[in-house]
Amino acid sequence: MKKLTMLFIITLLGSNAYAKDTSKEAFIADGKVKITNALCSNQKFLKCTGDSNSLCQSQMKQVVLPHCVSSKLSGLPEKLTQKEAQLAANTFGKCAAIAYPALNQLDMDEFSSCMTK
């Protein structure tokens, strides 16, 4: 299940194109919002959790960024070019996790099966 969620997040962020240079801090903040919005507007995710978009938005605590973000993104300059931001998206995705209470109440085998149908 964790691999499925991370694959979804990595795909989401990896496909995200940054049109202009951005600061590292803005990149991380933007990533949090985009992951939450993407999950809460994904019809398959909503169907498999049994939630609505508004309930998902209110319950999705935030994208939790473990210590690995600061260690893996520490070598990047404070201002990221478009290419650096796109490359950093893969690292960011690997470090991201979600805090969503509904997932704790689901049977993970059923949820995984639902998400891969």
80, β-bridge pairs:
22
Would you say residue 117 lies in a domain? no
Would you say residue 18 lies in a domain? yes
Residue 3 pLDDT greater than 80, yes or no: no
For residue 21, count other CB atoms closer than 10 A to its CB. Answer: 13
- pLDDT at position 70, please? 67
Number of compact structural domains in the chain? 1
Would you say residue 10 lies in a domain? yes
Would you say residue 77 lies in a domain? yes
pLDDT in tens, 51-102: 999 999 888 876 556 566 667 666 777 777 777 777 777 666 667 677 788 8
Range of the domain at 18: 2-111
pLDDT in tens, 21-43: 567 667 777 777 777 888 899 99
Would you say residue 116 lies in a domain? no
Write a three-state SS string for 57-83. HHHCCCEECCCHHHHHCCCCCCEECHH
- pLDDT at position 15, please? 44
| pTM greater than 0.95 | no
Residue 113 pLDDT greater than 60, yes or no: yes
